[in-house]
């Protein structure tokens, strides 16, 4: 299981209605994008991280495994702002780009934490069936569900093929490693194609008529949670504007 899915199924907010968590998470995301990066991004990021590790109950190790790769993209995306091209020397460090790079990194990190607050507390199986009520076409949600399912099958295939190759000393040298990787790609493609064909046959034998009907667990929306979320979002906006006024 992927770290994000493990966190989504084991956190304390798992029984809550996805709409409650979406309201809070998307509200923080809007604040991260719309408010000034200083101190708005810091405040939004701190609130999202506190909720994620505190009331939601996501373990720090789980959160770091999920965040490490996106934070790498944020870092790489901010570095070009520190470089100037042209003149003498042709490539040089640009001190004027440092504030812009920090603002970009802070805003992106705050937005990332806001999205993670929803993704790490809500399994995709709870979200996709409810999207039809919002007007999303059934074909879109069904394709997303099938892709989500096939992703885990592909990961299982990669793990099985890699273990078999390692048991046969397929990664002993550079040449054998390259040969094993090429064979691995071919084997995984054949497995994925075969699983997709069997999945299609299974749906046809079960009388698939264009829609997959699944039972959705009924969960009431907690009005106190929504009200507390609205108060918290208002406090974030008010605190950011107040601190902005104090800072200048």
3-state DSSP helix/strand/coil % of the chain, to nearest 5: 75, 0, 25
- Whose CA is closest to 127, among 29, 16, 241? 16
Q: Mean per-residue pLDDT for 217-221?
A: 80
- Whose CA is closest to 58, among 119, 1, 10, 114? 10
Predicted pLDDT of residue 212: 66
Contact, 121 vs 11, CB < 8 A?
A: yes
Predicted pLDDT of residue 152: 76
Where b means 16+ CB within 10 Å and e means fewer, 207-220 reads eeeeeeeeeeeeee
Burial of 192 from C-beta contacts in 10 A (0-12 / 13-18 / 19+): middle
Residue 211 confidence (pLDDT) above 80: no
Can you tell me which residue has the tokens 């009388």? Answer: 207
> In this predicted model, what pLDDT tens digit does every residue of 157-190 receive, in sequence order?
788 888 887 887 777 788 888 888 888 878 888 8
- Mean pLDDT of the residues in the chain: 85
Q: Mean per-residue pLDDT for 72-88?
A: 86
How far, in Å, CA of 12 to CA of 127, rounded?
17
Contact, 165 vs 235, CB < 8 A?
A: no
Q: Mean per-residue pLDDT for 19-23?
A: 92
Asked, as a colleague might, if the bond just before 135 is cis with ω within 30 of 0, I would say no
How far, in Å, CA of 134 to CA of 137, rounded?
9
For residue 85, what are the β-bridge partners? Answer: 91
Residue count of the chain: 248
What tokens were used for 6?
A: 């493990």
In this prediction the pTM is: 0.80
Sign of CA dihedral 64, 52, 74, 9: positive
> In this predicted model, what pLDDT tens digit does every residue of 109-153 receive, in sequence order?
999 999 999 999 988 878 887 787 777 777 787 778 778 777 777
CA distances from 195 to 149, 150, 188 (A): 11, 8, 10
């Amino acid at each position: 299981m992927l770290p994000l899915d493990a966190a989504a199924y084991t956190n304390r907010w798992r029984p809550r209605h996805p709409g409650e968590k979406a309201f809070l998470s998307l509200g923080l995301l809007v604040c991260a994008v719309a408010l000034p990066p200083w101190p708005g991004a810091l405040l939004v990021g701190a609130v999202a991280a506190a909720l994620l590790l505190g009331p939601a109950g996501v373990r720090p190790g789980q959160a770091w495994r999920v965040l490490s790769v996106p934070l790498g993209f944020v870092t790489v995306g901010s570095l070009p702002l520190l470089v100037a091209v042209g003149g003498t020397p042709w490539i040089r460090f640009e001190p004027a780009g440092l504030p812009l790079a920090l603002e970009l990194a802070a805003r992106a990190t705050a937005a990332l934490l806001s999205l993670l607050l929803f993704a790490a507390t809500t399994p995709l199986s709870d979200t996709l069936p409810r999207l039809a009520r919002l007007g999303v076409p059934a074909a879109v949600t069904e394709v997303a569900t099938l892709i989500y399912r096939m992703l885990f099958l592909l990961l299982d295939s990669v793990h099985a093929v890699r273990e078999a190759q390692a048991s046969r000393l397929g990664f002993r040298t550079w040449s054998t490693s390259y040969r094993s990787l090429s064979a691995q790609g071919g084997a995984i493609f054949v497995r994925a194609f075969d699983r997709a064909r069997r999945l299609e046959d299974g749906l046809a034998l079960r009388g698939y008529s264009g829609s997959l009907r699944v039972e959705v667990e009924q969960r009431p929306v907690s009005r106190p949670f929504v009200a507390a979320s609205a108060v918290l979002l208002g406090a974030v906006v008010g605190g950011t504007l107040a601190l902005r006024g104090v800072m200048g």
